[in-house]
């Protein structure tokens, strides 16, 4: 709370310079910019701590621990033939469990609550009535979420691959770019959910667990609406030369690595731009 007040006070200091005119206004402009940067930094750190020390972290730890127990029991490191081990590890764990479940769960747990939590608790009102630009508030929330989700997803992926032995080490080198791009796309998409829907966590959970599954496995081009489809396409293409089997082309025909990566980047950029535009203009009447 003290940090929040400090951030808001910095914003107030910043705004006070905007009413000055002439040479005095020019002299105060650098101070105003510094005050805004300080407000952004304070709000970012406060949001990061709130997200880290929240019940969401405990909720995310349960599936992460479950994945650890699964790998310790499955023992991919004991499969002697490496192509068979990488094929099994890719299909059974990386694509079916980690990419389809762990990545979206980690992203929605923090991306929807970075703004949605303040909206639910109605503390977002105190930020919006202060002279800190809305774009700066959104940027601070996004900046606080990114390292937390990326650290959790990429860190756990590294540990899981180490548990899988040689197949895991090869899978980490192959699939790291796909996991990274998927995580960025999900973070941006769920921020869009947060600024759009009143109960964004429920909407994002429904989308991640049901809509992504059905969209990503439907025949035709409709599967291209799912983030998971592009991530799987990248992984199947990169793993093909290492012995990873492609799924039945009747149900899943992957796009190229370049197309998949570009699609995920555009989903991330488009969702982020749309979320920022909505947050800039929308009046949240449910806060009062």
Share of the chain above pLDDT 70, in %: 88
> Cα dihedral angle (286, 270, 7, 9), rounded to 10 degrees?
-70
Range name among 34-48, 116-130, 139-153 with the lowest pLDDT average: 116-130
Query: Residue 11: pLDDT above 60?
Result: no
Q: What is the pLDDT of residue 178?
A: 94
Mean pLDDT, residues 213-224 taken together: 73
DSSP annotation of 204 reads H
CA angle 252, 258, 261 (to 5 degrees): 80
| Torsion-angle region of 81 (φ positive above 0: left; ψ -120 to 50: alpha; else: beta) | beta
Does 270 have pLDDT greater than 60? yes
Residues 64 and 151: their CA atoms lie apart, in Å, by 13
Instruction: Return the pLDDT at 261.
Output: 94
User: Which region among 3-17, 134-148, 230-244, 252-266 has the lowest average model confidence (pLDDT)?
Assistant: 3-17
Asked if residue 174 has pLDDT above 90, the reply is yes
151: Cβ contacts below 8 Å, ≥ 6 apart: none
Least confident of 159-168, 238-247, 270-279: 238-247
- Asked whether the predicted pLDDT for residue 221 surpasses 70, the reply is yes
> Please, what is the average pLDDT of the chain?
84
- pLDDT score of 122 more than 80: no
What pLDDT, on a 0 to 100 scale, did the predictor assign at position 14? 47
Q: What confidence tens digit (pLDDT) does each residue in 68-83 have?
A: 999 999 888 888 888 8
Q: How many other C-beta atoms are found inside a 10 Å radius of the C-beta of residue 56?
A: 21
Tokens of residue 91, six digits: 């299909």
pLDDT band per the 50, 70, 90 thresholds, residue 118: confident
pLDDT above 90: residue 205: no
Q: Which of 32-41, 111-120, 208-217 has the lowest mean pLDDT?
A: 208-217
The better pLDDT of the pair 121, 239 is held by: 239
- DSSP 8-state class, residue 62: H
Mean pLDDT of all residues in 243-259:
84
Res. 126 pLDDT band, cuts 50 70 90: confident
The model's confidence at residue 19, banded by pLDDT at 50, 70 and 90, is very low
Average pLDDT over residues 85-113: 92
**8 Å CB contact between 201 and 112:** yes
Q: How many CA atoms lie within 13 A of 173 on its CB side?
A: 7
Report which of residues 81 and 29 the model is more confident about. 81
Structure tokens, 192:
């869009």
pLDDT score at 27 = 65
| DSSP-derived 3-state class of residue 156 | helix
Q: Is the pLDDT of residue 92 over 60?
A: yes
| 243 vs 167: which has the higher pLDDT | 167
pLDDT above 90: percentage of residues in the chain: 42
Q: Look at 25 and 150; give whichever has higher pLDDT.
A: 150
């Amino acid at each position: 709370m003290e940090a929040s007040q400090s951030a808001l006070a910095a914003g107030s200091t910043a705004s006070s310079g905007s009413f000055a005119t002439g040479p005095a206004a020019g002299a105060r402009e650098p101070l105003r910019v510094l005050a805004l940067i300080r407000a952004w930094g304070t709000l970012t750190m406060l949001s990061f701590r709130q997200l880290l020390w929240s019940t969401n972290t405990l909720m995310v730890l349960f599936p992460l621990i479950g994945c650890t127990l699964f790998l310790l029991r499955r023992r991919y490191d004991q499969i002697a033939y490496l192509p068979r081990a990488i094929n099994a590890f890719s299909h059974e764990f990386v694509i079916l469990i980690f990419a389809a479940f762990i990545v979206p769960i980690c992203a929605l747990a923090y991306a929807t609550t970075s703004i949605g939590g303040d909206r639910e608790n109605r503390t977002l009102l105190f930020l919006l009535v202060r002279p800190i630009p809305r774009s700066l508030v959104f940027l601070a929330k996004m900046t606080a979420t990114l390292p937390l989700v990326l650290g959790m997803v990429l860190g756990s992926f590294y540990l899981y691959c180490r548990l899988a032995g040689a197949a895991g080490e090869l899978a980490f080198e192959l699939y790291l770019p796909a996991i990274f791009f998927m995580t960025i796309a999900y973070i941006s998409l769920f921020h869009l959910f947060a600024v759009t829907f009143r109960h964004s966590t429920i909407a994002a959970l429904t989308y991640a667990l049901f809509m992504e599954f059905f969209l990503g496995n439907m025949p035709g081009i409709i599967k291209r609406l799912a983030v998971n489809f592009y991530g799987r396409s990248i992984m199947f293409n990169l793993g093909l030369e290492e012995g990873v089997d492609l799924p039945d082309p009747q149900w899943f025909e992957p796009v190229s690595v370049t197309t998949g990566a570009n699609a995920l980047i555009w989903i991330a950029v488009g969702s982020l731009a749309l979320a920022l535009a909505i947050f800039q203009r929308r009046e949240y009447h449910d806060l009062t």
